């Protein structure tokens, strides 16, 4: 098949599409970092022009016909062979685009843009009613989108599949059924063993010194600054422009150094994956990342499992002390590690610790599912949110900016996105377990600042594979088990015993 003209033609078309998408990512990175305020309108025009081009190239009849014809042959090939993988993923991209009429795509893009600014205002005024009609519009359009994309069991499946190809709502539900009671138990336990009066820093941590430490940490774990850069933004993200060009971003807070430091580690984890995707495969599925869940497993692995470990700070604490001699005077390494791992329920997801984080996701998953099923009217979202929050955390939400208005996702109609965070967390624990089994000296290496064996191991199993396997299959290949919650709970339990236990 590799030598057929039709296949070669698809390679050319999808490479062009990939270049266009890559250009659009660069424009959007610029928009978040350096673009002047009044460039907004022109930028929106540039980006919608590119996405229109991509859509028309992708949905051209001849493309669909070639894909279908070649797929008949490729579907019977070895499922991990290059041709099978490329056609499987091209077909998916084609179908997703072809099933959505251009009018709906445009309508969604427009409604999203309008809803986003309404959400910003509603959140700052703590007034859900300002956002409600916009959210209603996005929910209506998203339900229509789910119907058009198609599903077997429930409409939420169709939306989840956009972010985590092949994943099912029923699997997510089963994971939470085991995860949630386990997390609540660990939360109780940690609250009883961690210091009742944790460390508290009075002095500010100058941002310039934070940036130095963050860059040192990112470089040490393997983020290559000749193939990437770090810039400052309001809402951190990372993006792969293409081979040799990965942009990560962070924000900085003098009063809370954990935001910037662990933010950079998180994004550098995404960045490591992006920088090590096979460059020669650019423009084909074999040169692309698997899913949001697998991507998040990489960021959480470096941010939390490695970056908040005792061993990691054995190497970096002396460096931190030399950069912040006054601030860290009299602070022991143990106190420091306890401080960055303190656990406490809070209202805001992005500030949550490793134990409560997935409880926040569970709440959002339930609400999203009810909305998309049509069981929960949009106007009842604040009430439902607060009720669930009380049930899960035992706390009263003070206002909607601390509740259902806190996240950007729904203003972008990204229903089905949230569960990929929890998938990323449970994958990260499973993946690290497998790495520890195969490389028993891993933690010893961290003490000396040696992270290369782990990066090489991840490269063979994940980075170099592109989209050869879907997430479930990839996790099974690496760990021998399908995605499950036990490894994550065991990881947390062991971690807090080591850090806070006597
Ligand atoms: Co992330």
Residue 79 per-residue DSSP state: T
- How many angstroms does the Cα of residue 266 sit away from the middle of ligand 1? 6
Q: Count the alpha carbons within 13 Å of 95 in the hemisphere toward its beta carbon.
A: 15
User: Quick check: is 159 in a domain?
Assistant: no
Q: What φ, ψ does residue 229 adopt, rounded to 5°?
A: -145, 165
Band of residue 174 on the pLDDT scale cut at 50, 70, 90: very high
pLDDT of residue 1: 83
Q: What φ, ψ does residue 355 adopt, rounded to 5°?
A: -80, -50
- The tens digit of pLDDT for each residue in 227-246 reads 999 999 888 899 999 999 99
Which of 98, 127, 156 is a domain's end point?
127
Same domain membership, residue 476 and residue 350: yes
Burial environment of residue 337 by CB neighbours within 10 A (0 to 12, 13 to 18, 19 or more)? buried
- The tens digit of pLDDT for each residue in 85-97 reads 999 999 999 999 9
- How many angstroms does the Cα of residue 420 sit away from the middle of ligand 1? 10
- The tens digit of pLDDT for each residue in 441-467 reads 999 999 999 999 999 999 999 999 999
pLDDT at 316 > cutoff 90: yes
pLDDT of residue 78: 94
Close Cβ partners of 237 (under 8 Å, ≥ 6 residues apart) = 32, 249, 267
Does the global pTM surpass 0.75? yes
Query: CA–CA separation, 58 vs 87, rounded Å?
Result: 14
CA 195 to chain centre: 31
Is-catalytic flag, 41? Answer: no
Helix/strand/coil for 218: helix
User: Quick check: is 481 in a domain?
Assistant: yes
pLDDT of residue 102: 85
pLDDT at 129 > cutoff 80: yes
Q: What is the CATH number of the domain that holds 458?
A: 1.10.1370.30
Q: Which domain holds residue 241?
A: 197-354+425-500
Which of 127, 160, 178 is a domain's end point?
127
pLDDT of residue 70: 96
- How many angstroms does the Cα of residue 43 sit away from the middle of ligand 1? 25
- How many angstroms does the Cα of residue 205 sit away from the middle of ligand 1? 24
pLDDT of residue 26: 97
The terminus-to-terminus CA distance of the chain in angstroms comes to 63
Number of domains observed in the structure of the chain = 2
pLDDT at 114 > cutoff 90: no
H helices present in 224-291, as ranges? 257-275
Which of 111, 127, 143 is a domain's end point?
127
- How many angstroms does the Cα of residue 300 sit away from the middle of ligand 1? 7
- How many angstroms does the Cα of residue 270 sit away from the middle of ligand 1? 7
Cβ 193 vs Cβ 496: under 8 Å = yes
- How many angstroms does the Cα of residue 350 sit away from the middle of ligand 1? 11
pLDDT of residue 215: 97
- The tens digit of pLDDT for each residue in 177-209 reads 999 999 999 999 999 999 888 788 889 999 999
Residue 279 per-residue DSSP state: G
pLDDT of residue 311: 98
Helix/strand/coil for 229: strand
- How many angstroms does the Cα of residue 246 sit away from the middle of ligand 1? 14
- How many angstroms does the Cα of residue 467 sit away from the middle of ligand 1? 19
pLDDT of residue 338: 95
User: Structure tokens of 122?
Assistant: 């509603």
Same domain membership, residue 207 and residue 92: no
Same domain membership, residue 237 and residue 349: yes
Q: Which of 89, 259, 267, 296 is catalytic?
A: 267
């Amino acid at each position: 098949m590799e030598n057929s003209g039709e296949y070669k033609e698809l390679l050319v078309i999808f490479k062009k599409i990939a270049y266009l998408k890559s250009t659009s990512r660069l424009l959007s990175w610029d928009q978040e970092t350096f673009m002047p305020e009044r460039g907004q309108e022109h930028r929106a025009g540039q980006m919608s022009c590119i996405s229109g081009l991509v859509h028309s190239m992708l949905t051209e009849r001849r493309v669909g016909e070639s894909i279908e014809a070649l797929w008949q042959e490729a579907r019977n090939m070895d499922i991990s062979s290059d041709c099978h993988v490329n056609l499987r993923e091209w077909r998916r991209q084609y179908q997703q685009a072809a099933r959505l009429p251009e009018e709906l795509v445009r309508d969604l893009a427009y409604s999203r843009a309008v809803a986003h600014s309404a959400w910003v205002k509603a959140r700052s005024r703590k007034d859900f009613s300002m956002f409600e009609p916009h959210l209603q519009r996005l929910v209506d359009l998203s339900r229509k989108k789910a119907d058009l994309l198609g599903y077997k069991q429930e409409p939420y499946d169709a939306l989840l599949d956009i972010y985590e190809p092949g994943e099912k709502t029923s699997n997510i539900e089963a994971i939470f059924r085991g995860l949630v009671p386990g997390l609540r138990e660990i939360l109780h336990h940690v609250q009883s063993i961690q210091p009742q009066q944790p460390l508290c820093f009075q002095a500010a941590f100058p941002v310039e010194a934070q940036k130095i430490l963050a860059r040192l940490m990112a470089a040490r774990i393997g983020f290559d600054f000749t193939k990437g850069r770090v810039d400052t933004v309001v809402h951190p993200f990372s993006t792969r422009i293409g081979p040799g060009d990965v942009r990560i971003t962070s924000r900085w807070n003098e009063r809370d150094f954990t935001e910037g430091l662990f933010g950079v580690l998180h994004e550098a984890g995404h960045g490591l994956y992006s920088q090590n995707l096979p460059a020669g495969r650019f423009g084909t599925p074999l040169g692309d990342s698997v899913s949001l869940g697998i991507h998040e497993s990489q960021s959480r692995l470096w941010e939390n499992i490695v970056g908040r470990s005792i061993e990691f700070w054995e190497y970096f604490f002396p460096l931190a002390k030399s950069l912040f001699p006054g601030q860290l005077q009299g602070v022991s390494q143990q106190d420091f590690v306890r401080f960055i791992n303190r656990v406490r329920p809070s209202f805001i997801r992005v500030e949550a610790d490793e134990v409560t984080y997935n409880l926040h996701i569970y709440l959002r998953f339930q609400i999203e599912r009810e909305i998309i099923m049509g069981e929960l009217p949009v106007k009842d979202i604040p009430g439902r949110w607060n009720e669930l929050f009380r049930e899960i955390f035992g706390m009263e939400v003070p206002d909607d900016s601390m509740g259902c208005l806190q996240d950007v996702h729904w203003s972008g109609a990204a229903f089905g996105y949230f569960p990929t965070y929890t998938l990323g967390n449970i994958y990260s624990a499973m993946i690290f377990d497998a790495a520890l089994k195969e490389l028993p000296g891993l933690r010893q290496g961290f003490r000396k600042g040696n992270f290369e064996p782990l990066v090489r191991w991840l490269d063979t199993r994940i980075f170099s594979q592109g989209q050869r396997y879907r997430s479930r299959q990839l996790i099974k290949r690496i760990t021998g088990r399908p995605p499950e919650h036990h490894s994550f709970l065991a990881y947390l339990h062991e971690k807090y015993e080591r850090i806070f236990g006597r």
